Chain A
């Protein structure tokens, strides 16, 4: 990819810049699409239509219009707020989720950085998100914000355990943390002759691992049924209460970027990343990007689908689910996968 860019751009900082903002472009376009899709899915699940007017065809420009509106809004900082932290929080939040995209292999030709600790890096840097949320909640000087932020802290600390353990069980199989290498391992149709050699088909325990990972990633992305940090109906938006305009928009963007990030990680770890489901058919760097994003979007769609199906959990139910079910299950699953690896 870098060589490709260097072929028509003057070498040096410009190439690095273009190279590094590619995920940003993907995130921005994806966010515009995903927010529209979320409204459409919400509408149709409730037998409504969702946005229909803006832009002509099924309100495709609705998010664009919202973006323009948000940019025009006044930048309000509460009088008693900690100005510096309050203003910094949304940027740190977005930086945290954008930083994680470095290690995501979008296609066989594009990965931000071939770091060997890829998955570990992603897990580590997404934790920064909860720091920024606590920053936002504390700096707002508002009880709703603070309550929301504290719920986030509790939630993130709890749900990182099952996420890490399920990722660990994948790592046992792959033997590497580099997501590019993990994806390359899943090329071809090894299982039963026709199934793509994705890790989800590796053993029945991988299915359980994926389910656990998906549930925990919902909590990591603060999506329904684990959206207690925001919980509009109880906490008036949680840590977002005092934010308005583009700063609030950045939080929103972060939420959607996080959804995509965790979906892409899930797709890479369990569904073969940029590998085509049809073996060598429709393969290659460009198709790779297509498959990767398609898999990610399918998982994002499932997240939306769940959002409009399930009610929100209570705080104690949230902790109950995590510590009494997900963590024991993920540990048992880890051991079973390790045994499977030893035997076969």
Chain B
């Protein structure tokens, strides 16, 4: 009986305590943020989306190298001497066309490691978190502002310049050779006139010059190295182009299949 009464008392006491708490909460300000219309104030250093100010990019690829998940894909073309790409806002001279600056936000792990190495502070985290997409490829952000025509133009110019340089080098070498030959000939003539011993050395020099001359038509040792580099770069570019084309084709195919 006593237990029953004390139980009853306890029941009502706890119920009224609970009801008091719920009543207090009923009139408390709710914590809901009516999202599309209201937004939370974001912390100062949020890491939500990468943004590149392409005007400031010097194509140094430091960010690409810093990225632990390799989500940044940069392609550059050397600018020719007659092109002036200007300076970045931080005063760095721009020497490379940046024909590709793709960041795959689907791969990105938001570590912000790419932001700090940038010498011109052109890659930054911005406060945009509403960029979800239906297609994974739509999360690849392309920042390069170069049109395909411009890229082609830059490539062509570079090739032309390389050609020109090669030709100039050849010419220079040829001129050098001629000079040497002329010198040797002069030496020969002098030796013939002076000492037979000298003639022997002159002959050696002449053969040397001939050897150098025979090498030259094959673009010479130094030129050959730079040519290799060029080829490598061209291969890389081709590979990139192929990748891009494949991606584009894939995207289009997907779009078509969706339709």
Contact = CB atoms under 8 A, between A and B. Distances in A.
Contacts of A306: 15, 19
Interface in A41-84: 41, 43-49, 52
B6 to A, nearest CB: 12
Contacts of A47: 25, 28-32
Contacts of B27: 44
Nearest to A40: B26
A48 B15 CA distance: 22
Interface residues of A, number: 17
A44 B26 contact: yes
B18 A48 contact: no
B30 A43 contact: yes
B201 interface: no
Interface string A324-340: 11000100000000000
Interface string B1-33: 000100110000001001101110111111110
A41 B18 contact: no
Interface string A286-328: 0000000000000000000110111000000000000011000
Contacts of B15: 306, 309-310
B132 interface: no
Contacts of A41: 26
B31 A309 contact: no
Contacts of A49: 30, 32, 34
Contact of A309 (B22, B28, B32): B22
Contact of B31 (A48, A52, A310): A48
Contacts of B29: 47
A48 B19 contact: no
A101 to B, nearest CB: 29
Contact of B19 (A52, A305, A324): A305
Nearest to B21: A309
B31 A45 contact: no
Contacts of B23: 305
A325 B32 contact: no
Contacts of B25: 44-47
Contacts of B7: 325
A305 B22 contact: yes
A28 B52 CA distance: 59
B8 A325 contact: yes
B26 A48 contact: no
B18 A310 contact: yes
Interface string B109-123: 000000000000000
B30 A309 contact: no
B64 to A, nearest CB: 45
Nearest to A43: B30
Contacts of B22: 45, 305, 308-309
A175 to B, nearest CB: 30
Contacts of A324: 4
10 contacts: A44-B27, A45-B22, A45-B25, A47-B29, A47-B31, A305-B19, A305-B26, A306-B19, A308-B22, A310-B15
Interface of A: 41, 43-49, 52, 305-306, 308-310, 324-325, 329
Closest 9 CB pairs of A and B: A309-B18, A49-B32, A309-B22, A45-B22, A44-B26, A49-B30, A47-B30, A47-B31, A45-B25
Given A47-B28, A47-B32, A310-B18, 7 more contacts: A45-B22, A47-B31, A48-B30, A49-B30, A306-B19, A309-B18, A325-B7
